[in-house]
Amino acid sequence: MQRLKAPTGRLILLSTAVIGATTLMPAGYAPAASTPANSRQQAYAAAAAAYGVPENVLLGVSYLESRWDTNAGTPSTSGGYGPMHLTDAAYVASLGGQHHDGDEDPRGDDSRAVKKVDSHDTSTPSMEGLQTLDAAATLTGAREESLRADPVANIRGGAALLSSYQKALGAPHGADSDPAAWYGAVARYSGADNANAAAVFADEVFGTIRDGASRVTDDGQRVTLTQHAGLTPATSWLEKLGLRKPARPDGLECPVDISCEWIPAPYGEYRLPNGTVDYGNHDLGNRPVQQKIEYIVIHDTEGSYAGTVNMVQDVTYVSWNYSLRSVDGHIAQHVKAKDVAWHAGNWYVNAKAVGLEHEGFAGAGTWYTEAMYRTSSKLVRYLAHKFDIPLDRNHIIGHDNVPGTIPSTVSGMHWDPGPYWDWSHYFDLLKAPFRQIGTPRTGLVTIDPDFATNRPAFYGCNLLPPNRPTPPLPPSEPCPSRGSSAVILHSAPSSDAPLVKDVGLHDNGGPSTMHVSDHGARASAGQTYAVAGRQGDWTAIWYLGQQAWFHNPASAPAAKWSVGLVATPKPGKATIPVYGRAYPEAAAYPAGVPVQALAPLQYTLSAGQRYAVGNVLPGEYYRAVSFDGSAPGDRTVIRGEMKYVQIQFGHRIMYVNKDDVQLLPSPVGAPR
């Protein structure tokens, strides 16, 4: 995704807005006997009664769209507003954006020429489901501005849409009608353009109604959906929508309970303007037979789903394995897992990873939909099981966690899916929550702030407001107040202390900033770090060769105490190098194959410091430089004697030579 550049040397610290905590309650939790007339719960009840929709259907649809959150009236990554996700395709088109641009070479392989890409997403979304805001305005008589910003008006708009869809189907109607008969209307509300995606959405809604749910919204409102065990929807209503049914060919690598289709990325030769011949847009491989898949990389698209799918079908462009649509969670697979897509900006990671592109914008102040979180989590669970990938943040990583390959590429690496991706909720959906068994004396912490109340004061989102096509907001404009997975790191135990430095991002020696793209002083939910100190409500971790402090009061912890292995330099070594890729030693390369330099990064790991261990990996290089595999050593994995330890060194993972470090239990030498 595109990289927004932070102003050099600028430090802006803004106040953090705090709201009521979000909590999940056991299914079937009963609300208080007397519900305040102006509560969010009452707003759902009133809208359901006014438009003749069963209240549990309205609540179930809203939960799958937004988890009942308001998101401060700002749009989702598919242009949807409010608890009912009323959509505005014009807003999506106005964001525009590029997929891969800037300084990052998505291929990230020194053995080939740098692949610069600058393709723009100029598509205009045309799905009915991406333009429901104006229909809701017509049905309710409310102004579009109110439907965006006022939760009560938004809920009424969603109820009116559901009611209109049910009437159009000729299905039983009314607040006291059988919820099972609303399957078709719920499926249409998904906005899906195919029957599979519509059915998956409706199935999730009715599953939520059966299980029940209760939580406090992002603006402090308790909402409850009572269990309706045994509810079986009348799925035959789906046929009346007349939606297309995409084929699921044999070999499609998706679980059967999500909507997925095959839209292949091309593998072919093409001629460059200078007359030379190149090929794209991925490399053939034989994974996992030749090489184990270690990572699943979470990206965002920085453009619409339609434009993203168009770009991946361009042989001159780059590739990723899957694209996921925001409005309904539909998925397209483009590259088989056995082959190597060009997406992460680091060839070592590409060769050992599967890449998922989620429709969205990391730095536009938008939010990711629940429908997309759910299908993504099901796909990742499927892939993790198929390829024996652990469900943790050492293996399920963001593009923003992928290291630069050599010092010159560090600052150009992309930073999606950004600080607004809800990693904790995502891992809950993966059925791998961030539970830990450590204590303050076990030496590690796993970052896990409360997403709803953790609202770092970022700036520079450049959110384009609705109905104001020009100009964009100034680069220093505060981002919308939004829950975040990111914890901010200071150079001392004080909110007034400067942020820690990242010499790879700020080569002038300046501190990191609160610009939304500047991750030089951030730890993210699920990442585990070695404890470097404690003082009052503050905890320090080892981070990029320095102590980095974050606010971690016992009353509202931002992390969980953990236990595990740490890496520290062997006795006698004052410093050791840190790498962005785990390539083998020179002696491992066969004759005729150019040696890939080990090339330490600009960071060092000093004696006395400790970093959480994520994996121990063999030194490997997958050689792939020719279209037909005829180049010396092509389509082989070159391995040597070197082994590497993957560590959580900063916001990004990095690697150290196993011969340089001791691996110790985390309590050893842990501060108290």
CB atoms within 10 A of CB 167: 12
Q: Quick check: helix, strand or coil at residue 219?
A: coil
- Annotate 529-547 with three-state secondary structure: EEEEEEECCEEEEEECCEE
Compute the distance between CA of residue 293 and CA of residue 383 in angstroms, rounded to an integer. 10
Beta-bridge partners for 616: 645
- 0.85 exceeded by the pTM? yes
Angle, helix 151-169 to helix 133-140, in steps of 10 degrees:
90
What are 329's two structure tokens?
């969670």
Verify cis geometry, omega within 30 degrees of 0, for the bond prior to 471.
yes
Q: Quick check: helix, strand or coil at residue 551?
A: strand
Rg over CA atoms, the chain: 25
Compute the distance between CA of residue 195 and CA of residue 27 in angstroms, rounded to an integer. 29
Exposed / middle / buried, residue 431 (Cβ in 10 Å: 0-12, 13-18, 19+): exposed
Spell out the residues 6+ positions from residue 555 whose beta carbon is closer than 8 angstroms to its own: none
Q: What is the dihedral of CA 403, 407, 412, 414, to 10 degrees?
A: 0
For residue 85, the model assigns a pLDDT of: 97
Helices (H), 129-189: 133-140, 144-149, 151-169, 183-189
Angle CA 408–110–568, to nearest 5:
60
Compute the distance between CA of residue 263 and CA of residue 282 in angstroms, rounded to an integer. 14
Place of tokens 């993210």: 524
Query: 56, 207 in Cβ contact below 8 A?
Result: no
Please tell me the CATH code under which domain 246-418 is placed. Answer: 3.40.80.10
**What does the domain layout of the chain look like in residue ranges?**
40-88+131-241, 246-418, 569-665
Instruction: Supply the DSSP string of 236-282, one letter for each residue.
Output: GGGGGG--B-----TT--S-TTS-EEE-PPP-EEEE-TTS-EEEESE
Smallest CA-to-CA distance from 204 within 422, 412, 396, 376 is with 376
Q: CA-based diameter of the chain, in Å?
A: 80
Residue 131 DSSP class: B
Beta-bridge partners for 356: 298, 322
Query: 162, 173 in Cβ contact below 8 A?
Result: no
What are 456's two structure tokens?
């770092």
Identify the H or E element spanning 370: helix 370-387
Sites in the chain below the pLDDT cut of 50: 1-34, 97-101, 464-473
Sign of CA dihedral 182, 80, 425, 199: positive
Query: 200, 329 in Cβ contact below 8 A?
Result: yes
Place of tokens 């590739």: 319
Place of tokens 């014009």: 90
Sign of CA dihedral 421, 425, 428, 432: positive
For residue 303, the model assigns a pLDDT of: 85
Exposed / middle / buried, residue 239 (Cβ in 10 Å: 0-12, 13-18, 19+): exposed
**Of the CATH numbers 1.10.10, 1.10.530, 3.40.1130, 1.10.150, which one belongs to the domain with range 40-88+131-241?**
1.10.530
For residue 105, the model assigns a pLDDT of: 85
CB atoms within 10 A of CB 583: 26
Instruction: Supply the DSSP string of 477-531, one letter for each residue.
Output: SBPPP---SEEE-BSSSSTTSPBPP-TTT-TTSPPP--BTT--TTEEETT-EEEE
For residue 2, the model assigns a pLDDT of: 41
Compute the distance between CA of residue 218 and CA of residue 168 in angstroms, rounded to an integer. 34
For residue 28, the model assigns a pLDDT of: 34
Length reported for the chain: 672
Compute the distance between CA of residue 644 and CA of residue 655 in angstroms, rounded to an integer. 6
Query: 182, 57 in Cβ contact below 8 A?
Result: yes
Smallest CA-to-CA distance from 282 within 260, 252, 314 is with 314
For β-strands 213-216 and 86-87, DSSP reports them as unpaired
Q: Quick check: helix, strand or coil at residue 425?
A: helix
Spell out the residues 6+ positions from residue 628 whose beta carbon is closer than 8 angstroms to its own: none
What are 478's two structure tokens?
């505060």
Which amino acid is it at 99?
A: H
Verify cis geometry, omega within 30 degrees of 0, for the bond prior to 288.
yes
Place of tokens 């699921």: 248
Instruction: Supply the DSSP string of 554-595, one letter for each residue.
Output: TTS-SEEEE--EEEEEPTT-SEEE-BSS-PPPGGGSPTTSPP
CB atoms within 10 A of CB 492: 15
Give the model confidence (pLDDT) of 171-217 as tens digits: 999 999 999 999 999 999 999 999 999 999 999 999 999 999 999 99
Angle, helix 55-66 to helix 370-387, in steps of 10 degrees:
60
For residue 134, the model assigns a pLDDT of: 94
What are 442's two structure tokens?
């076990």
